[in-house]
Amino acid sequence: MKLSRNRTILISICLIVTIAVAYSILALTHGYITVDVAGPVEVGPEWVEVRSPKPLKISRRKQYLALYVSDSHEAYNEPQDRSGETFAMRYPDGSLVRPEVRLVDKSGKEYDLDSVGFLGKTRSSGDLDGGMSFSRSFESSLDSDFANGTYPVVKLRSNRPIHISRIEWNCYNPK
């Protein structure tokens, strides 16, 4: 009986350790990584360089830079718009704004983040700013310089002044 009880305890401990290790591996390989880059920042027609407190790296299969914009705006995405201003923020005065965003690696080489998305405004996260996300479409085997780079600087500019409450770098593995 005593051997059976000790065996049950040993199996239970092994099972708990196995579950903990599996969870840790899953969290490390599939977890979301968020780096706070800066905020607040005002961006206008001249390039603004923002130095991240922690250099940005490609650490998952997908990544994007999130710009949370505190100015009142709405998402604008009109596929039929021939002005080239689709995927922009529309301000109350009707102006359209789509910031330009670049990452600068430690050797000074610049990479455009030209794949654009929108950030939702949510009360649950406490963030009512919304804004835009910027990423770079790349294939790691073809664009290894970008995939393996370290980016201490983010460059931003906009056709009109905008107020960014927060900039975040997000990396994740899609499910």
Nearest by Cα to 93 from 111, 77, 71: 71
Mean pLDDT along residues 71-86: 79
Three-state SS at 81: coil
C-alpha distance across the termini of the chain, in Å: 46
Write the pLDDT tens digit of every residue in 19-63.
766 665 555 555 778 899 998 999 999 999 999 999 999 888 788
Where residue 67 falls among pLDDT bands split at 50, 70, 90?
very high
Q: Do 22 and 43 share a domain, yes or no?
A: no
Q: What is the CATH number of the domain that holds 156?
A: 2.60.120
Residue 113: partners with Cβ closer than 8 Å, 6 or more residues away: 64, 65, 101, 102, 103, 134, 135, 136
Structural domain boundaries, residue 128: 33-172
pTM: 0.75
CA separation for the pair 141, 115 (Å, rounded): 19
Q: Do 22 and 42 share a domain, yes or no?
A: no
